[in-house]
Structure 1
Amino acid sequence: MLDEFAAHAPVTVAYLGPAGSFTHQAALNAFGEQCLGETAETISGVFHSVEKQNVCYGVVPIENSTEGAVTHTFDMFQNANVGICGEILLPIHHSLLSNCELSEVTTVCSHPQALAQCRGWLQQHLPHVDCVAASSTTRAAEKAAQSATTAAIAGLLAAELYHLPVRAENIEDMADNTTRFLVIGRDQPAATGDDKTSVVIVLRDRIGGLHTALSPFSQHGINLTMIQSRPQTGNWQYCFFIDYEGHADSGASKQALEDLQACCQSFRVLGSYPRATLNAK
């Protein structure tokens, strides 16, 4: 998917770990195993690795179709000196992994979002077991690998890394469960004709400010694909993250951004990048 970046070898990539996480899988799909450089225990750790130029790019989750926004990622963009240079869409398929048979499972461990996304399956197939939260699906797999009766909800990559038998596949309640990831870095890819642009703005404190800010997109025939508000630290002001179809340097987009900037207290283009599709690698 990001062949233009991978062509400038050697390319190093940081991703939200541990190894075996869905972010790891997204990074593998985009860059290939030969390009992966380091894992980070937190989203802020990925941003810091890119800012310090320890790696060329970072991969972080931004939103899930079932659970919504990953707010930590949005918050990092308020102050981080990095941009967005790509996106990855990954279908999220959860599996139940354990050393024991299904009938012998006493505890199911996973990240809270994974437990929530499999709630219906768990109620139907394992209604009496204890559900325990872990910091990641990979940490859950790690625990299950060391236990005779604990199962983990994780991906098939974690099953492979921790040599865990797969007791059930595709146990998520929503078949189209998808997570969107961002590739962050300092480089900007060339326009492809099928791009998206991300901006972050802070509005002036006046009546109708948001309506005024969004009007240029409608006036110039530009489709918004996402808008997300996040509080700024300590001052009861909000910033708004906006994604839209088109490249920042195209004619209509350029004019819309000029009009948008004129009505904002602060304004920043985070990046323009190729629009991802679910079958992209």
Structure 2
Amino acid sequence: MIKLTNVVKTFGKVEAVKGINLEVEKGALFAFLGENGAGKSTTLSMICTESEPTSGEIFIDDEQLTFKNRKAFRQKLGVVFQDNVLDDLLTVRENLYNRASLYGKTKAEITERLELVSSMMGIEDILNRRFEKLSGGQKRRAEIARAIMHDPEILLLDEPTTGLDPKTRVSVWKIIDYLREELGMTVFLTTHYLEEAKDADQLAVIHKGKIIAEGTPASIRSRFSVDKIFFYEPKLAELQAIIEELGLPFKVTKGLMRVDVIKEDVGILAILNRTAGLYSSFEVIKGNLDDAFISLIKEDSND
């Protein structure tokens, strides 16, 4: 489990992370969603011990992480950064071997682990190629292989699919899903891609250094997005009277009324039952995570 308590990070007079609190369950896929510059990467850098919090506490499996004991914690953490860190001039095999040797593995252990990891990542055919010669997708797979060479319990991924084409992004996600579902790794993912966040077990939205929502993707969608009903060719006066009675916002254009279902105690089915016969047809558009994210950012920006 990962736990952050009142974690703050400042750079000079700039407060990049503003007292955030988080708990990531063991074995979960946790998505940390936010715009560029929101504080996602700064938070991840503190969890992976690259940066020290200005104040607050970070715990891994109920043990407090400090700069003094960070070496011990790094055994539990695998990190894939936004930018590639493997050596361009070395082969993938040489890169992975060198990285694994930093964790005190014997030559035999490294050789065995390298064979296993390269098979899992599907990179056996590129082991003897120089890193600089690889495609973007091959480089991402090699970077994930680097991050798990020491068999960590937690995988930290900082915008892992940024800059990749859709097909390659899908292949990278298949690898991430395998590591979590088959090997039981806890995965902490930072992203600004909503489609990557929607399948997470847990989700937190960060904006301007503070967490503005957290829960499951479904609960955040439900709480912060709005379902809409479109009534075509309405009997306007009668329909409008009912919608006003229900206290729901609406908009009328030529031959159409749009109703925003903003009240939890007024469901779509109840509205349709009350208004039956007052329109020629209707369409329901369910709110989604995109709507919720936009609504959250807009609301926080206006505070």
**TM-score clears 0.5:** no
Q: TM-score, normalised by structure 1?
A: 0.25
After TM superposition, the score normalised by the length of structure 2 is 0.23
